[in-house]
Amino acid sequence: MKIIIELRSQQLLAQGNWLARVSKRAVERREWSKFGDAVNEDVGSRLTAVSTEEIVLERPKPIGSTTIETKPGDPDAVLMVCRNCGKKGDHWTARCPIRNLSQPADEFVDKPPAAAPVSTNNAYVPPSLRAGADRTGGSDMRRRNDENSVRVTNLSEDTREPDLHELFGTFGSVSRVYVAIDKNTGTSRGFGFVNFVNREDAQRAINKLNGYGYDNLILKVEWATPRTT
């Protein structure tokens, strides 16, 4: 048996066949009997199986000039990058087959003055919300008003807005006054709010008018929200 095998391999080599060089001992080992757990194995055991999938050595994507993604004869193709799917040389972002129509909204919410409005697709945008609109003035006014809000309590029944306006107007420009009115009786509920334009005026008003006697009642004047001065 051995002699025949050796002759055969010599023959094949002589014929110039590309033959894996197998050492003599390796050929002998092929004839070894099975041992251990392999003893009772039949030839068709399922331990060893050739993969049904063809596996290739997958090259990583950017290889340089050897990539085959560019269309032949199109020199600009390599520059054509799609931002959505990342493919190069195939299509521009606007022509991406997986065009996602929902833009992420959170990017815009945090920057109100400068950012474009949230996901409008050619809808009308009022001037105040357009990109570049000057909205600083409006918001400042409103914010400062709420910050300079003064609460007045222990008002008499017939105190109304004009009375407070007159009373507090001496300290500075008042942007808004409000007196809480009871709907049923039409009388004051005893408290109201005054919004100053300037914070210093509000502070002076508080200092002067807190404890001031007005219409037989002692007024309590303080900041509308708990605020440290």
Partner 1 sequence: MRPILMKGHERPLTFLKYNRDGDLLFSCAKDHNPTVWFADNGERLGTYRGHNGAVWCCDVSRDSGRLITGSADQTAKLWNVQTGQQLFTFNFDSPARSVDFSVGDKLAVITTDPFMELSSAIHVKRIAKDPSDQTAESLLVIKGPQGRINRAIWGPLNKTIISAGEDAVIRIWDSETGKLLKESDKELGHKKTITSLAKSADGSHFCTGSLDKSAKIWDSRTLSLVKTYVTERPVNAVTMSPLLDHVVLGGGQDASAVTTTDHRAGKFEAKFFDKILQEEIGGVKGHFGPINALAFNPDGKSFSSGGEDGYVRLHHFDPDYFNIKI
Which residues are at the interface with partner 1 (CB under 8 A)? 20-23, 25-26, 29-30, 32, 34-39, 41, 45-51, 53-60, 63, 66
Q: How far is the CB of 114 from partner 1 (least distance, A)?
A: 37
Q: List phi, psi (to 5°) of 67.
A: -70, 150
Separation between Cα atoms, residue 53 and residue 9, nearest integer Å = 33
Task: Give me 4's structure tokens.
Answer: 């025949």
For residue 68, the number of C-alpha atoms closer than 13 Å in the C-beta half-sphere is: 1
Separation between Cα atoms, residue 149 and residue 198, nearest integer Å = 10
Cβ distance to partner 1 smaller for residue 37 or 134: 37
Q: How far is the CB of 82 from partner 1 (least distance, A)?
A: 21
**Residue 222: beta bridge partners?**
151
Cβ distance to partner 1 smaller for residue 3 or 55: 55
Q: How far is the CB of 1 from partner 1 (least distance, A)?
A: 18
Cβ distance to partner 1 smaller for residue 35 or 124: 35
Q: How far is the CB of 201 from partner 1 (least distance, A)?
A: 60
Helix 199-209 and helix 161-169, axial crossing angle in degrees, nearest 10: 100
Cβ distance to partner 1 smaller for residue 58 or 76: 58
